[in-house]
A and B are shown apart, each in its own frame.
Chain A
Amino acid sequence: MNAMVGEWVDVGAVEDVPLRGARTVATGHGNIAVFKAADGTLFALWDRCPHRGGPLSQGIIHGHAVTCPLHNWVISLATGNAEGADSGCVRKLPLKVEEGRICLDAHAVAAGPGA
C-alpha cells in the first residue's frame, strides 16, 4: 500500500534506510534505489549503473557517491553522473521527506529510467 499524496508517492520511512546504505523500491519499470549518505542525506536513482546496468543499491556508499558492485564505477548520488574518467548517467528521481516519510515524484516514477 502506497499512499499517493498529490504528485508524491510515499515509499517508506526515513529510518528504514540504513546510514551509508540503500534500499530498493520495486516498480513496473525496474527497481529504484533510495540511498542514505553518512550525513543522512537521501537520494533516489534508478537502480541501474550506466555502464552495464549493475544494481547501484548494492554498492558501497561514500560521501555523496556510490561505487557500483559490478565494475567499480563511481556514480554521484546528487547528479546520477559517473565520476572520474568514466562517463555516463543514470536518471535521478526527485525526492522529499515529509514527517519522516520518504516521498518520490510520482511522474518521475511513472516515466521510468529512460533508455
Chain B
Amino acid sequence: MARKLVIIGNGMAPGRMLEHLLEAAPQDYQVTIFNAEPRVNYNRIMLSPVLSGEKTYEDIITHDDAWYQRHGITLHRGKRIVAIDRGRRKVEAEDGTQASYDRLVIATGSAPIVIPVPGHDLPGVLTYRDLDDVDRMLAAAQGGGHAVVIGGGLLGLEAAAGLAQRGMKVTVLHLMPTLMERQLDPAAGHLLREAVEARGIRVITKANTKAIVGSGKVEAVQLDDGTELAADIVVMAVGIRPSTALAKSAGLGINRGILVDDQLVTSDPAIQALGECVEHRGLCYGLVAPLYEMARIAALHLAGDATASYPGSVTSTKLKVTGIDLFSAGDFADARDREEIVLRDAARGVYRRLVLQENRIIGAVMYGDTADGPWFFDLLRRREDVAPLRETLIFGQSYAGGAPLDPMAAVAALPDDAEICGCNGICKSRIVGTIAEKKLASLDEVRAHTKASSSCGSCTGLVEKLLSLSLGDSYKPALLQPMCSCTDLGHDEVRRLIVAQELKSIQAVMQALEWKTSCGCAKCRPALNYYLIATWPGQYADDGQSRFINERVHANIQKDGTYSVVPRMWGGVTSAKELRALADVVDKFAIPTVKVTGGQRIDLLGVKKTDLPAVWADLGEAGLVSGHAYGKALRTVKTCVGSEWCRFGTQDSTGLGIRIEKFMWGSWTPAKVKMAVSGCPRNCAEATCKDVGVICVESGYEIHFAGAAGLDIKGTEILTRVRSEDEALELIVALVQLYREQGRYLERIYKWARRVGIDTIKAQVCDDSEKRKALFDRFVFSQKFAQADPWAERAKGRDAHEFAPLSELRFAEAAE
C-alpha cells in the first residue's frame, strides 16, 4: 500500500520535487498538498512579466487542475497548516482539516522583509512576493500616479520596470551607492542605472527611508535627508526571510532557516524540507536554480535512493527586465590574490568582467551581451583550469577551443562584413579593400579614405591591426603614449572623447572608452577627475577618492605622515592680525616648524591630520583661507612692492597681483600654476621664470608665460604687451583657460606650450578677440563652482571621516 506523503506549501520547489518523484516512484506515495495560496502551482519567477503585462497568469501556470487529478494528488487550496503533531504524525490546517503522514515535506518558502519604519502598515504599502501582490500593484497602476519602490536589488528593479511599463511614475530608493551591489560591480551597476533611468525610472541611491506618511493611506515617503517623495503605492523589496515559524513550533532544528542535511532531511527523520525556507550548510537560497537542485535530491531520497546528496549550489543571477541583459555569478567579495579580465565594447553597450583565482573563474559579471553567461558559469562551477583559454577567454565560447588565438588572428578571423567602425558603419572588407586599392600605408590615410576611426577613435586599435595584416612588417604603427596601462588611448584622445561623447562621470568614460580595468588606477583616475571637472563645471561631481591625498584633504602630506598648512597671503601681503593668528595656532597645536616659502607665504609644518579641521577653524576666524599649496591649481601670485613704495616702480604690481589671485584662486589646472607680477624690469618678483608672469613698464604691462624654475630652468616667452590692468587680467585668464582645456594632466604650462606651439597659443589668446572673450567667459563660469574655501567647509564638518580615526585601540599597549 502506498505511504502517505504530505507537502506543506505549493511553490516551485515542491512542484518540481513532485515531478521528479512521479518519475522515479509513481506508485510509492499517496500525496496531499496544503497550499496557503488559493491557487495551483505557478512559476513565481515569471511574476515580473505578469506585472509588466508581457504574460498573463494562465501563461505561468506550471501544474493545472487536470495535472493534480491525473496523478491522484489531493490539493487543499487556501488552507494554511497551523500545527504539526510529530508524535502522531499529523498536520492540521487553520480550518481544522487534518491529514496524517508517513513522510512530511515542508516547503513554506520565505516572507518578504518589511522595514519597520513609521507608516509601514499604511494601506498602499505592498511587498512583491506572490500573485496577490501583483494584483494589488496592477489595481494601483490603473490610476497612474506615483510609485516608490524601496530596494534596488533584483526584485525591486523588476517591480519598478513593471510598474513603469504600466504607466506609473516610479522612483527606486536604494540604500547602497550602486544598484544590485551584491551581484554587480560598480561598473556594471552604473550601466544598469543608466538603462533603468532611460526607462523614465528615477533612481536615488544612498537613500535611507525615514518614514512613510499619509492619512488613511500612503501619500509620501520621507528620506532622512529631508527629501519627500509623493507616492500612491510603496513597494518594499529589500529582501526575504525564510518562513520557519511552523517548523519552529513543531520543535524542529532551525537557525536562519530550517536546518537540513545533504538529503534535505530535518532534525526529524520523517520530515524533509526544501526551498527558500531551509538552511543548508549555513546558506539560505532565494534563486530558482538551487531550489530545483534541492527538489531533485529530495525526490530521490523519498524514492529510496540513499546515495542522492545535495552539495550546495553556486548561484547565478539574471535580471528579468526586457531589454536589459545582465548576468552575474560567483562571489567577488571573497576574492583573494585575484586577477581580472575586462572587456568593454562601448558601441554595443557591453561590459564583461571575469575574476580569476589560480587560473579558475571565481566570478563573472556581464552586461549588454550575456550569451556567454552559461558557458562562463559552467567553467566556474566545474572549477575548470582556464589557463589554456586565457588569451581569448573574455570573448566567449565562440573563440574558445582549438589552438588559442592571438589577438591578430582574432582580427584575421573576423568575417568580411564585421563592423569595425561603429560610428561610421565601416566593415572590415571596406577597410582592407581600400588599403589594397589605394595603396594606403598609414592610419591617417585610412581615416581619410574610409572615415573609419575618424570619429570616436575607439576602433583605432582594430584598424591598426588590419593595416598590419594587410601590409605585414612594413607597417609601423605610430607610437602613441597611452594614459596608463588601463587604456590604449592617449590623454588628448580621452579629452576629445569626453567632450564629443558628453561623458560626465568616471564610470561613463571607462565604459565608453573601453577601459581595460574595472576601476582604473592611481594614474588615470586623478587625470579623468580633472578632465571631467574642467570640461563639465557644475555638472560633474568631484570624486575625492580619485584625487591624490593632498587634494583630497587640502593639505600637503609630509614624509612622516603629518601635514603642512599654507594659508593664502594675497600677493604676498600679510598683516599683524594674520600673523598673530598664525602664531596662536602654532602655540595651541604645538606645530614644530614655521617656514617662509618661496611663494611669499608661511608654511606650518608637522600638523597632525586629526588637528587639521581645528587649525583651519582658528585660521579662518582671522580671515585666512586655503592657499592650495597642495593642488594642481593656482598656487601663488608673487609681487614686489611696486609703485606704492618703490622709487623705481612703474605700476601697482602688488595691487595687480592681489587682483589676479582673488580672481583666479580655487581653479583646478592640469598641473600647478605659479605667477608673479614685478613692478619694473628689475624684476624683483622673479616673474620671468613663472608659469605666467607680468613685468610692469611705464607704458603698461608685458605678459610673460611658459617659464620654469624646477627640474627644468627656462625663461618665459613674451605673450604680448597691453596698456591696462583690465586687459592684462583678461589675457591671463584666457591663457590659463586655454591651458585648462588643452593641457594634459601633470603637464606644466611650458611643456604644453612647447607641444602645441607658442604661435597657436598667441593666435587664440592675443589675435582673436572673440576667442579670448569666450575663453574668459568659460573661466568665469567655472569659477562659480570653484571658489568655496575648502578649509572653511571642512572646519564645519565636511568629510569629517577623513580626519578622525575609525577607532582607537589602547589595549595593545597594555598587552606589552
Contacts and interface: CB of A to CB of B under 8 A. Distances in A.
Contacts of A69: 548-550, 557
Interface in B315-373: 332-338, 340
B240 interface: no
A20 B517 CA distance: 15
Contact of A27 (B186, B518, B519, B812): B812
Interface in B796-816: 801, 805-816
Contact of B519 (A12, A54, A63, A70): A63
B333 A2 contact: no
B181 A63 contact: no
Given A40-B181, A60-B526, A16 B801 contact: yes
Nearest to A68: B522
Contact of B521 (A9, A24, A54, A62): A62
B232 interface: no
Contact of A39 (B185, B337, B545, B814): B185
Interface residues of B, number: 43
A51 B549 CA distance: 18
Given A24-B805, A69-B548, A79-B337, A62 B517 contact: yes
B96 interface: no
B812 A109 contact: yes
B561 interface: yes
Given A26-B808, A109-B809, A55 B561 contact: yes
B549 A38 contact: no
Interface in B495-529: 517-522, 525-526
Contacts of B805: 23-26, 31
A37 B336 CA distance: 12
B559 interface: yes
A29 B181 CA distance: 35
Contact of B522 (A16, A19, A62, A109): A62
A19 B545 contact: yes
Contacts of A58: 549, 553, 557, 561
Interface in A62-90: 62-64, 67, 69-70, 72, 74, 76, 78-79
A93 B812 CA distance: 14
A110 B812 contact: yes
Contacts of A70: 557, 559
Interface in A40-63: 40-41, 52-55, 58-63
B545 A34 contact: no
Contacts of A110: 811-812, 815
Nearest to A28: B813
B522 A74 contact: yes
B678 interface: no
A11 B811 CA distance: 13
Interface in A1-35: 2, 4, 9, 11-12, 16-21, 23-29, 31, 34
Interface in B529-571: 545-550, 553, 557, 559, 561
Contacts of A9: 809, 811
Contacts of B519: 20, 37-38, 62-63
Specify which of B518, B525, B526, B809 lies most central, judged by the most chain A CB atoms within 10 Å of its CB: B809
Contacts of A112: 812
B177 interface: yes
A28 B816 contact: yes
Nearest to A38: B519
A54 B548 CA distance: 14
A115 B725 CA distance: 60
A53 B562 CA distance: 12
B177 A54 contact: no
Specify which of A2, A19, A28 lies most central, judged by the most chain B CB atoms within 10 Å of its CB: A28
A105 B361 CA distance: 29
Nearest to B185: A39
A63 B813 CA distance: 34
Contacts of A62: 517, 519-522, 525
Given A19-B177, A59-B522, A62-B517, A29 B812 contact: yes
Contacts of B548: 60, 69
Contacts of A28: 809-810, 812-814, 816
A64 B520 CA distance: 11
A16 B802 CA distance: 10
A104 to B, nearest CB: 8
A76 B186 CA distance: 20
Contact of A54 (B545, B561, B810): B561
B557 to A, nearest CB: 5
Contacts of B517: 62-63
A40 B521 contact: no
Contacts of B812: 27-29, 109-110, 112
A64 B335 contact: yes
Contacts of B546: 20, 60
A31 B545 CA distance: 20
A17 B522 contact: no
Nearest to B520: A62
Contacts of B186: 19, 38-39
B212 to A, nearest CB: 23
Interface of A: 2, 4, 9, 11-12, 16-21, 23-29, 31, 34, 37-41, 52-55, 58-64, 67, 69-70, 72, 74, 76, 78-79, 102, 109-110, 112
13 contacts: A12-B806, A16-B801, A19-B545, A28-B813, A28-B814, A37-B519, A41-B333, A55-B561, A60-B522, A63-B521, A69-B548, A72-B522, A110-B811
Given A58-B553, A59-B549, 16 more contacts: A2-B807, A12-B806, A23-B806, A24-B805, A24-B806, A25-B805, A27-B808, A27-B812, A28-B814, A41-B335, A52-B559, A55-B557, A62-B525, A63-B518, A63-B519, A109-B812
10 cross-chain pairs, A with B, having the tightest CB-CB distances, nearest first: A28-B813, A67-B522, A23-B806, A20-B545, A28-B812, A11-B807, A58-B549, A60-B522, A12-B806, A55-B561
